[in-house]
Chain A
Amino acid sequence: MSNLDITYISQILTGYKSMKGALIPVLQEVQNHYTYIPEPAVDLIAEALNISPSEIYGVLTFYTQFYTQPEGKYTIKLCRGTACHVKGSKSILEAIERKLGIRVGETTKDDLFTLRIVACLGACAVAPVMMVNGDYYGELTLEKIEGIFDELQAKECKSAKT
């Protein structure tokens, strides 16, 4: 935390100081940059927008898309929409949890994977479906899950060696 570069937060804030309803867009921009909302950001935002830190915590814990911990290199967004549910996304979720040894909302110890569930990705034709850093993986089966993560892990091992 100590070596976090907070200059970017101040940069973002200059553009929003006089805007009404700026809090959510500010938080979104901060998170886009840091992958989460770092603690020092809250005080800076509070001062710039003249909102109390407790109000900011209220907003950032109310909405599911704000995170207070850094994300892993890969964010897995597993769709838990109704179409995916009736096509077995719950067992897919359990399989990912077993495979990576983490629960929803957690990050693996090597900081590679963060597992999240989303209400609906809207790609129901390829249900059950998940997104890993912007790439879609559809028609998931328990076998496919093994293959996808084996491949990603192998790729990371390789790049770590070189």
Chain B
Amino acid sequence: MEKLNFIEQFRTFRRNCLSQGDSVVPTIVVPAGTCGRASGANELIRVIEQELADKGLTEKIGLRVTGCHGFCEMEPYILIEPEQTFYPKVDPAEIPNIIEAVVRGDVLEDLLLKDSESGRIMQKQDDLPFFNKQVRTILSRNERIDPVSIESYISIGGYSAMVKVFENGDPKWVISEVKASGLRGRGGAGFLTGLKWKMLAEQPNGHGKFLVCNADEGDPGAYMDRSVLEGNPHSIIEGMIIGAYGTGVTEGILYVRNEYPLAIKHFNIALRQAREIGFLGEDILGTGFSFDISLVKGAGAFVCGEETALIRSIEGKMGEPRQRPPFPIQKGIYGKPTAINNVETWANIPVIIEGGAEAFAKIGTKNNHGTKIFSLVGKIKNTGLVEIPMGMTIKEIVYKIGGGPAGKSEIKAVQTGGPSGGCIPANKFDISIDYDSLTEVGSIMGSGGMIVMDKNTCMVDVAKYFMNFLKDESCGKCYTCRKGTQRMYEILDDISKGKGTSAHLRLLDELAHVVKDTTMCGLGQTASNPVLSTLRYFKDEYIEHIEKKRCPAGVCKELISYSINENCVGCRACVKACPEGAISGEKKQRHFIDTGKCIKCGACRNVCKFEAVDV
């Protein structure tokens, strides 16, 4: 790739990219982020390539492998452009038929998605309620580009925001635009990005400031940052260049989880391309401005999502948080002023600069501008990433976009904000999704995990699950966090085993408040949220466990027993499945479970086709 030395050269280059992208051939688009690949997208791509080559169609039909578009539930799926025909869960054996249909300009109706209520066939992506209720400013770009091609990104307007900033030439303008947009940090805390940048720009230490992109997406059940990094790495680089120009920073760092190999690969490719073309390095596009980004891989510690711990980890030390102030903005990496923003925050920057702060501020509600990506997962019909304008209600997300419960069981809560967040009960689903409303009901926005729970989810078990996670991830520096999370876990474990007393509930509540009030970092201060929010909304479940020694959801093993009811036809499937030989019975006669031998693994219930196993 030839290096571009002037802004004028960028314009010529961009025209070339546009003309190349202007082909009229139909294109098959295959989303192949990590989730797509886990569902079989790689095999699909292999078959499509083979089929196009065999039939000599490589010149007539395009193939674009992209990052994740969001609808993970339907993967591996393909999209046919320009009609946007959406084929869900594609069987590789159908590829030849689909390709023939594309050649004919036809659509295979049998393979399309049908609306479960009306039976209506939904041909186009925009016909799907999952997509048409969203506002996809960030995610929609994933489907339009090849993530490992800088030309592809430029052809959809990429790096124009960077050039706009260079042409304006005033760093203060960048900060004022970001401030005016009202963008708040998408990592969870919701601090105003423009204000953070202004503080960084005003730091007296003129040399050696750092900008960091925090991609240590540690919340279990949240993967939107990974999806943006995999599907559109150049948007992060562009955002960081703009941020660096505005704040006078010359060094940037992407801190990324080591568990994201594809994101790391794509980001490294993008970095190389950006350096080759001259968007990173010395004297970018002849402006005299220099900036470069390096990639640092995390080593597996949830607490490193906390700013001061992340900084220590970048310095090659144990990721223990430290007391603030001084804030990272004053003293960060190697003592230099440092601003840390989350992946999704960075992805929003080019959008704001390109479209203008005013347009951005129009999306959402007062004090909560723009869109937010959520990962809608758990007991939900349409699992996937959804991007919504701030202010939409939980109900709309769960029922309209998410399509309601996955099975027959009713939805009873959503959990947002990861281990630092809380559970929101179904009767509060009318609240609007924004930083303030979520905090009001005892949860937080967090990075955007939204885990749906139904009647078969035990809330004591959920609290115990998070506390187990937090006690393992507590760095151990503050005594109250180290021992407090441990003790809360032990109490929850006792309750889940039927050994709880009402005194335990009071102790749990007291302990939760002590941990909240006496720990130093964000992890400790929010560690009690899973306990406090379940105690607040689902106390009756705790009481069931304590007083009646019963787990209403049928989850806590010590409190349940398996038995076979009269539906049993005597097929012996469960007898074969039982790893302990605890089930006996003749063929065609009702079977019995020896509760003494039963380890309550649930294997019998999983294989039974007659709903004959009760819990």
Contacts and interface: CB of A to CB of B under 8 A. Distances in A.
Interface stretch (B22-30, B57-65, B310-318): B310-318
A122 B226 contact: yes
A28 interface: yes
Contact of A122 (B35, B301, B462): B35
A83 B379 CA distance: 8
Interface of A: 20-25, 27-28, 55, 58-59, 62-66, 80-83, 85-88, 91, 94-95, 98, 118-127, 129, 136, 138, 141-143
7 contacts: A28-B297, A59-B318, A62-B301, A63-B299, A64-B299, A83-B377, A127-B378
A124 B521 CA distance: 29
A66 B297 CA distance: 13
Contacts of B577: 142-143
Given A62-B320, A82-B377, A127-B383, 6 more contacts: A20-B316, A21-B296, A24-B316, A27-B299, A59-B318, A82-B221
B75 interface: yes
Given A20-B334, A120-B219, A125-B377, A86 B316 contact: no
B38 A119 contact: no
A63 B319 contact: yes
* Interchain residue pairs A-B with the least CB separation, the first 5: A125-B72, A122-B223, A81-B220, A63-B299, A136-B38
Interface string B62-79: 000000000011010000
Interface in B1-59: 34-35, 37-39
A86 B219 CA distance: 15
Given A122-B226, A125-B39, A87 B379 contact: yes
Q: By CB atoms of chain A within 10 A, which of B38, B315, B317 has the most?
A: B38
A126 to B, nearest CB: 6
B220 A80 contact: yes
A5 B72 CA distance: 44
A122 B218 CA distance: 10
B231 interface: no
A63 B319 CA distance: 8
B528 interface: no
Contacts of B101: none
B424 interface: no
Q: By CB atoms of chain A within 10 A, which of B217, B220, B301, B318 has the most?
A: B220
A20 B451 CA distance: 40
B222 interface: yes
A64 B220 contact: no
Nearest to A134: B261
B220 A65 contact: no
Given A95-B601, A124-B221, A141-B606, A83 B378 contact: yes
A58 B312 CA distance: 13
A125 B316 CA distance: 34
B603 interface: yes
A24 B578 CA distance: 45
Given A28-B258, A82-B465, A142-B577, A124 B223 contact: yes
Q: By CB atoms of chain A within 10 A, which of B223, B299, B451, B602 has the most?
A: B299
A126 B38 contact: yes
Contacts of B379: 86-87
Q: By CB atoms of chain B within 10 A, which of A20, A62, A86 has the most?
A: A86
A21 B555 CA distance: 45
Contact of B38 (A25, A65, A86, A123): A123
Contacts of A122: 34-35, 217, 222-223, 226, 259-260
Q: By CB atoms of chain A within 10 A, which of B296, B375, B378, B577 has the most?
A: B378
A142 B603 contact: yes
B537 interface: no
Contact of A64 (B300, B320, B418): B300
B269 interface: no
B449 interface: yes
Nearest to A63: B299
A25 B606 contact: no
A138 B220 contact: no
A150 to B, nearest CB: 13
Contacts of A94: 601
Given A82-B378, A124-B375, A142 B319 contact: no
Contacts of B220: 80-83, 85, 119-120
A130 to B, nearest CB: 10
A65 B258 contact: yes
